Amino acid sequence: MLVSFLPLLALATSALAADPKPPALIYLYSINITIPSTVNLGSVPYGSRGILSISGGSFSGPKMSGKVTVGMDWGLTDTKGTFSPDALYVLQTNDNATIMVTEKGHAPNVQILFETGSSKYAWLNTLVAYATGGPTATGVALDVWQVGS
Ligand SMILES: *[C@@H]1O[C@H](CO)[C@@H](O)[C@H](O)[C@H]1NC(C)=O
Ligand SMILES: *[C@@H]1O[C@H](CO)[C@@H](O)[C@H](O)[C@H]1NC(C)=O
């Protein structure tokens, strides 16, 4: 009985020998998001929350470029000072596709998901993207990569 487990054990040991291969990062675009105003809700149970209106911006990259139309970020700054964005905004590509972006994370690490009805950009609907960046004089700037294939 024991003997039949031995090959499995050997497999498990060799799998542990090397770290798994990390997923590829494929550069999608860089984006400047314009945030003209913030409504501060002040101290809420888990920190301080601001409602940041997104009024525009632009993005540019090897696979897609265009502008930001509208959106909002209701991120929370926790009691330790970490800002966790929680945003939804719309991209309009130069060829007129509209793409909804949902963004969550813990600054400066951001996870992005996309939703679009455009057949040209339908490949965005099934991927997960990683973004990093930070505040600018007029809003936020991020670099965005597709994670994995
Ligand atoms: C974002 O803003 C920076 C600084 O003004 C500029 O260099 C860059 O080209 C802008 N990128 C896009 C995609 O608009
Ligand atoms: C996108 O829409 C604008 C405004 O409606 C129009 O001027 C432009 O020609 C369109 N571009 C494409 C590639 O369809």
Q: Tell me the pLDDT tens digit for each residue of 66-114.
A: 999 999 999 999 999 999 999 999 999 999 999 999 999 999 999 999 9
State yes or no: pLDDT of 115 exceeds 60: yes
Residue 105 bridge partners (DSSP): 110
Q: What is the pLDDT of residue 75?
A: 96
Q: What are phi and psi of 15, to 5 degrees?
A: -70, -30
Please indicate, yes or no, if residue 19 is contained in any of the structural domains.
no
| Residue nearest to ligand 1 atom 13, measured at CA | 59
Task: Say if 26 falls within a structural domain.
Answer: no
Look at residue 50 in the predicted model and tell me its pLDDT.
95
Q: Does residue 2 carry a pLDDT above 70? A: no
CATH of the domain at 85: 2.40.160.20
Long-range contacts of 86-93 (CB under 8 A, 24+ apart): 87/52, 87/54, 89/33, 89/54, 91/59, 91/64, 91/66, 91/67, 92/66, 92/67, 92/68, 93/64, 93/65, 93/66, 93/118, 93/121
Residue 78 Cβ < 6 Å to ligand 2: no
Q: Is 23 helix (H, G, I), strand (E, B) or coil?
A: coil
Task: Tell me the mean pLDDT in the region 20-47.
Answer: 96
Residue 1, pLDDT score: 47
Confidence check: pLDDT of 123 > 70:
yes
pLDDT greater than 90 at residue 120: yes
pLDDT digits (tens, 9 = 90+) for 39-73: 999 999 999 999 999 999 999 999 999 999 999 99
Q: Which domain holds residue 60?
A: 31-147
Is residue 5 assigned to a domain? no
Does 11 reside within a domain?
no
Closest listed ligand to the CA of 120: 2
Query: Per the structure, how many domains does the chain have?
Result: 1
| 8 within some domain | no
Which amino acids bring their CB within 6 angstroms of ligand 1?
30-32, 58-60, 141
